Amino acid sequence: MSIGNNILVKLNNVGFQQNQKWLVQGVSLQVEKGKIVTLIGPNGSGKSTTAKIALGLFKNIEGQVEKFTNNIGYVPQKISIDWTLPLRVRDFMLLTDNLTEDVIDEALSLTGVINLKDKSLGNLSGGEFQRVLLARAISKKPDLLVLDEPVQGVDFTGEIALYELIKEISEKLSCGILLISHDLHTVMSATDHVVCLNGHVCCSGSPKEVAKNSEYKALFGEQAAQTLSIYEHKHDHVHTNDGDIKKN
Amino acid sequence: MFDDFFIRALVAGIGIAFVAGPLGCFVVWRRLSYFGDTLAHSALLGVTIAYSLEFNIAVSIFLISSAIALILIQLQKKTNLPSDALLGLLAHSSLAVGLVVIGFLTFIRFDIMGLLFGDILAVNKKDLVTIWVGGALILLVLRLIWKPLFASTVNYELAQAEGLNPDRAKAVFTVLLAAIIAISIKLVGVLLITGMLIIPTAMARNLSDNPKKMVIFSIIGGLLSVFIGLFSSLEFNTPSGPSIIAAALVLFIFSLLKVKQTIQLKN
């Protein structure tokens, strides 16, 4: 099968400006079935903007976005639920799709919040809410998942478990995932392709390639490059020639 | 049976309550109460146009209100004024122009009080057909756009990202608001229609923990308000609109007791 058939969304040299200021410019990337593409970069580097461009949320963009699926699950970075709207977790799960009770239960169990099903959304903690958001996005068994910092506010052990889950989902559903994360450690283990943003694409490639890139080092510092390599090292059990790794 | 004016008013009120409940929920959720008010104020202009051109009143109100909504959207795009100022501008200027036009139409006798506050005697058999057929259509269309409208009320970007069409749903909803104003003006009046949309809904919010319950409670609240309001209107010879809204207010105050209880339980 050719690669072309597996592409879910393709960004070709896209950019977006607001108030005469470019938020992001010249970004090209594609997400394929079963692959996880991660966007990293400092604050204000245009990660969320790029994700929103891929989702088609902006009207006046530069470049082209080609979408090959409409079955999309989205976890936005910020979401506030107005108290004027009484909403339980179970109502929220049905927001964009008609799901059966079983499907809802399954998704909530996967993210570990089945016990919150009848709770009001307003009463959840940040971490609980994040798990509900993730459950809702995966419940509809999407072709493409766009996750904008999906584990923010989740405790450390939960974070690892959720990343494991995200990886599992991408394999099980063979869906493509566009992930935005700050957490270099955890993300890199599951990622197939990393795009490092800072208003434009600094560098991109496999986690290993990106970690070696000088622009990446300049952006995140030598330390970050090391943590990344160490992780790769531990994970793959392959010894590279990088002297820094051997010391650890 | 519809020969009795009171039965006609009651049947009209029941029909309006069924439509006002669900629409009112969206007005409250989307924070559109002042927007609804503006549309309602412009309805008076619609009435005068209907009289001077001998045109159907409900259709005329519907068209004028929709036009005002369009003008508002244009003004929001083209001026630097905040939305609430623009809404105030349109609400009061359309009300003023409507009243000025009435002043010119000396050949027709207007019951201005009736237009502003509703008139229990004014509802005829034709109005009943308008309310029930129009109301059924409004509910049907609302049912069709429910998913995108509700999803975008919770979160616009989420709805759009996942392939629903929030902009279309919003535009259709605006038209539905204009439509309910058009069908309920005779019973409730220009100045109080928004109250019919909001007050039973506010009561329902105090009693519900999920959206479906809130819609059902606001319909029940609206029905009770219509019954209590119309009977007292008959009994005390008060205008129908204010009586219905006052009844809704009493129900709202009772619902506050429930809120107090839940807050105490939380503590």
CATH class of A3-71+144-149+175-247: alpha beta
CA distances A177 to A25, A182, A191, B231, Å, are 21, 16, 9, 61
CATH code of the domain covering residue B167: 1.10.3470.10
For residue A33, give the nearest of A167, A217, A176, A228 by alpha carbon.
A176
CA-based nearest residue in chain A for residue B145: A96
Q: Mean of the pLDDT values across residues B179-191?
A: 89
Q: Is residue B19 in some structural domain? A: yes
Cβ-based burial of A221 (10 A; exposed 0-12, middle 13-18, buried ≥19): exposed
| pLDDT of amino acid B103 | 85
CA-based nearest residue in chain B for residue A75: B158
Q: For the segment A181-208, what is each residue's pLDDT rounded down to a tens digit? A: 877 776 667 788 989 888 888 888 888 7
As for the ipTM of the complex, it is 0.84
Query: A213-217, B13-17, B56-60, B62-66: which has the minimum mean pLDDT?
Result: A213-217
Contact B209/A91, CB-based, under 8 Å?
Answer: no
Please give the share of chain B, as a percent, with pLDDT higher than 90.
58
CA-based nearest residue in chain B for residue A87: B210
Give the pairing type, strands A21-32 and A7-18.
antiparallel
Residues 20-39 of chain B with CB under 8 A from chain A are 28-29, 31
Distance from CA of B161 to the nearest CA of A (A): 5
Q: For the segment A23-57, what is each residue's pLDDT rounded down to a tens digit? A: 988 899 999 998 899 998 888 888 999 999 999 99
Q: In which band, very low, low, confident or very high, does the pLDDT at B267 lie, cut at 50, 70 and 90?
A: very low
Whether residue B266 has pLDDT greater than 60 = no
Q: In what order do the strands lie in the sheet with A193-197?
A: A72-75, A144-148, A176-180, A36-40, A193-197, A201-205
| pLDDT of amino acid A228 | 55
Partners of B211 on chain A (C-beta within 8 Å) are 85-87, 91
| pLDDT of amino acid B265 | 55
Partners of A55 on chain B (C-beta within 8 Å) are 157, 160-161
> Which 3 state secondary structure label does DSSP give A64?
strand
Whether residue B235 has pLDDT greater than 70 = yes
- Check residue A123 and report its DSSP letter: G
Contact A74/B151, CB-based, under 8 Å?
Answer: no
Residue B202, token pair as written in the block? 């506010």
Contact A85/B151, CB-based, under 8 Å?
Answer: no
Whether residue B219 has pLDDT greater than 50 = yes
Q: Is residue B267 in some structural domain? A: no
| pLDDT of amino acid A161 | 85
Partners of B202 on chain A (C-beta within 8 Å) are none
B93 at interface of A, judged by CB pairs closer than 8 A = no
Q: For the segment A213-243, what is each residue's pLDDT rounded down to a tens digit? A: 777 777 777 666 665 544 443 433 343 444 3
Q: Which range of residues forms the domain containing residue B178?
A: 5-189
| pLDDT of amino acid A239 | 38
B112 at interface of A, judged by CB pairs closer than 8 A = no
Domain boundaries, chain A: 3-71+144-149+175-247
Q: In which band, very low, low, confident or very high, does the pLDDT at B264 lie, cut at 50, 70 and 90?
A: low
Better pLDDT: B259 or A15:
A15
Partners of B24 on chain A (C-beta within 8 Å) are none
The Cα–Cα gap between B63 and B90 comes to 15
**pLDDT, chain B, mean:** 90
Give pTM, 2 decimals.
Answer: 0.86
Q: Is residue B99 in some structural domain? A: yes
The Cα–Cα gap between A231 and A226 comes to 8
Strands (E) in chain A, as ranges, are 7-18, 21-32, 36-40, 62-67, 72-75, 144-148, 176-180, 193-197, 201-205
For residue A143, give the nearest of A37, A54, A11, A32 by alpha carbon.
A32
Better pLDDT: B13 or B261:
B13
Residues 196-235 of chain B with CB under 8 A from chain A are 205, 208-214
Number of domains making up chain B: 1
Please give the share of chain A, as a percent, with pLDDT higher than 90.
35
**pLDDT, chain A, mean:** 83
The answer to whether A182 and A151 have CB atoms below 8 angstroms apart is no
